[in-house]
Amino acid sequence: MMKAILKTERTKGFVMGEKPIPNNLKPNEVLIKVISVSICGTDMHIYNWDAWSQKRINPPLTVGHEFSGKVIKVGSEVTKVKIGDVVSSESHVICGKCEYCLKNKGHICENTKVLGVDIDGCFAEYVKVPEENLYIATSNLDPIYLSVLEPLGNAVHAVKHFDVKDKDVLIIGCGPIGLMGIDVALASGAKRVFATEVNPYRINLAKELGAYLVFDPRSYNTLEMISKHTNNKGVDVVIDFSGNKYAVEEAVDYVKPGGGISILGVFNDKLNVDVNKIVFKGLHIYGVTGRLIPKTWEQIDELLKTNKLHFNKFVTHIFSFDEFEKGIEVMNEGKSGKVVLKL
């Protein structure tokens, strides 16, 4: 038996329980002894049992989709990894057969199953996943931090869709992935990174990560601030991690002609965007979902080799697995960057 964090009822909360170790592997599956897991906003939705989770989640379920671990058993057809490898993992289990998978667009696979959402996840002592999902650690990064590579991949996907080298970038929203976005942009050669955020704790984190200018858009007019610091030209790239309706509606004003807007945030309301500005400014709009498979993971690997990412700054809290409620608490309070649980 193994310890696992479970969603057992259709109500708020998780419980620590026991489940059988998932030893029965398909030929392409790998059993992993978990080293660390990290808490995502999706986990918070499921914990708080909001409207989205009530529609999507079917308890009982082992939650969690971000982890690192060591391979301890492999299926009969596994060739990519071996016992003893330290790994992180893509959380989207794709079919490999649909129209999009066959076009190398697995991030929009029409049959995607997400760990800890559609199938049992990784908040447990052991987890099994297809070998195709695994990223084998090749850098000297502490394995505790490897669990955050999956959300880091969201930031990498959003930032690196556009060439940010020597460019001005605006990050909207400095939650954990937005903070990673600042780090990724600077590590990718951005000239200056501007950032907006309403949470004082995360404003300070954004500054510590090296953002050129960080401000609360409730206190300062974003367009005026961007115009002032860019000689009225605007930034080259805007990246939204917030899901804030009004910020993204105005993003077409923040970006210069020929610039780009990446959108990772998810919105509760329809947006009212001036499409004429997109047309006449020649803007490029890109919707970000998940990570490009395998391109984003290859980009992560290249970034790790530069040693330019500051995991010790955007990972702000590390608790033991048994202290998961403390991690949930700081996440709910918004007084954290990324929160990791170590086993």
Torsion on CA atoms 101, 105, 106, 112, rounded to nearest 10: -90
Residues in the chain: 343
The answer to whether residues 255 and 236 touch, using CB atoms and an 8 Å cutoff, is yes
Q: CA 192, CA 22: separation in Å to the nearest integer?
A: 47
In contact, 177 and 264? CB cutoff 8 Å = yes
Q: Is 189 left (phi over 0), alpha (psi -120 to 50) or beta?
A: left
37 phi and psi angles, rounded to 5 deg: -135, 160
Coil, helix or strand at residue 202: helix
Which residues form the catalytic set? 42, 45
Q: What is the DSSP string of 226-253?
A: HHHHTTTS-EEEEEE-S--HHHHHHHHH
Residues in CB range of 101: below 8 A, 6 or more apart: 94, 95, 109
DSSP-derived letter for residue 101 is H
Q: Other C-beta atoms within 10 Å of 333: how many?
A: 10
CA distances 305 to 19, 57, 68, 139, 301, Å, are: 37, 37, 18, 6, 6
Give the pairing of strands 284-287 and 2-7: unpaired
Q: Which of 177, 199, 171 minimizes the C-alpha distance to 335?
A: 199
